[in-house]
Amino acid sequence: MLNTVWCESFRKFPTGFKFGSSTSSYQVEGAWNASDKGESIWDRLVHTNPKLIKNAENGDIAADSFHKWRQDVDIAADLGLNFYRFSISWPRLLPKGLTNEISEHGKKYYNNLIDALLEKGIEPVVTLYHWDMPQILQDLGGWTNPLMSDWFAEYARYAFSIFGDRVKTWITINEALVVCDFGYNSGVLAPGITEPTLAPYLCNKHILIAHAKAYRIYDEYFRPKQRGRVSLSNSLLWIEPLTPSDKELAELAREHSTGRYSHPIFSKKGGWPPSIEKVMAEYSRKQGFNVSTLPRFTKEEIKMMRGAYDFYALNHYTTRLIRPAKPGEDPGIWFITGSPEINGVLVVDPAWPYGESRLLPLYPEGIRRQIAWLMKQYGNVGFLITENGYSTSGSRLNDEDRVKFIRDYLEQVLLSIWIDGAKIMGYTYWSLIDNFEWMDGYSTKFGLYEVDFEHPERVRTPRASAQYYANVIRTNSIDSDTHQDANTLRRFRRKETENVASSYSGSPIAVSLCFVIGFLFVTSQI
């Protein structure tokens, strides 16, 4: 009886835990040249180099959320979302990138979206930069130009001033690791520039300074009245050693991946991780440089960045193992195949399953281990999971594999909360609806709702995962039975979705694990 009580307790989320879902502007809005919107770097890339995208597809129309935002709000309400995370298109709001030219059309669009969400009781969580930089600023160097941090800070100031009376949670930058490291190492993401020697690290520095400047502006000028919170969303690839002898390399890789984008802001001392400063100095000398290609911070910059957060926002999708590169072996590009800087090669456990994306093998335990590592490094600072999602392909509403994914990852979130003591405030599923998935175009589907991209109306249809997630939110538990709520079933009328989610309730492994957890918790109190 006692174990059963604890089991039920551990399968539920704490009071106040919030569930959300997310999208980003370029991936769903479409209307790429509507009214006076400016050109973004993704507009330029897909139009000038369409071969980089599967099937030469683009986001010109996407899910047409610019015109169908009411449908997206209704979907969010049907799911029962506590919050909806979306991003502002910088060039839609500021066509030239700066505040000397403001789009009233763009301003109206985001005001309408925010107000409609609030009318439905859904909190808007707003990202300022989800990769669609104004092309005019990229022509001046983009994130490799130190002035970019000032331009971003002024954009943030304007957004805070017109939306901050209703928006209480802000994400400044989404996945700087992808923007800087993968972007400049591969050249396949906008702006389509390959320069792996200096650009990733210049971008790394300037994007963190941009966040910190925006945070300090909010803290000084807007927080007293608006009482919101601000952070940046880091993409966290959990990294484990391939063999016990690779433990030091794995820790170095974590600092190279997560630390470079977290240590300057979340650590007590600030600045770059010391281990990375050392390895980059050594690597730069081997390349023939007299100074490190990892740019230095001034004392003023270190002070400004340190503590520039209200919580830690993380996007987590997958895990890698790491081993040393063999003599003569090219590690490839970070963070896909490896890192020449730390002489490490990333590999995948062959037992790990996949969704549609071959970049994202599934290892649910990774999210819990990643959060535990963050707590060890920076303290229990409060965490918001801002992205976690599963990819499928084709038209398939009966997505039981996505239901299992959500359940498995949320189970690890529960363990992180109840066993590790992590202060996790919420979970965001990526994505609310199918969207333009960058290099994969429309071949990869992450949505709780399917979007028919062949239909002129971009019809949205709920998948089984939408029904399951709605019940998780309703019951505050991963063990919800979708058949017990007639209201939910009426919202999700599709017959194909009605009999899926319940098959994932009470798996033998989960129940056994729950009993073990309950026993350990009880005995720890004696």
3-state secondary structure of 171: strand
| CATH, domain range 20-234 | 3.20.20.80
Residue 297 DSSP symbol: P
Question: What per-residue confidence (pLDDT) applies to 376?
Answer: 98
Catalytic residues: 175, 387
Per-residue pLDDT tens for 478-489? 986 544 443 443
Which pLDDT does position 411 carry in this prediction? 97
pLDDT tens-digit map of 74-116 = 999 999 999 999 999 999 999 999 999 999 999 999 999 999 9
- The pLDDT of residue 523 is 33
pTM for this predicted structure: 0.92
CB contact set of 456 (below 8 Å; sequence gap of 6+):
none
Quote the percentage of the chain above a pLDDT of 90.
89
Nearest to 38 by CA among 82, 98, 81: 98
Q: Given the DSSP bridges, would you call strands 460-462 and 449-451 parallel, antiparallel or unpaired? A: antiparallel
Cα within 13 Å of Cα(37), Cβ side:
25
Residue 379 confidence (pLDDT) above 60: yes
Query: Residue 495: pLDDT above 80?
Result: no
Distance CA 298, CA 344 (A): 30
Does residue 526 register a pLDDT over 60?
no
Q: Are strands 123-129 and 169-174 parallel, antiparallel or unpaired?
A: parallel
Per-position DSSP letters for 332-362, written without gaps between them: -STTTTEETTTTEEEE--TT--B-S-TT-B-
Alpha-carbon gap, residue 174 to 89, rounded angstroms: 13
In whole angstroms, what is the distance from residue 406 CA to residue 199 CA? Answer: 36
Confidence of residue 11 (pLDDT cuts 50, 70, 90): confident
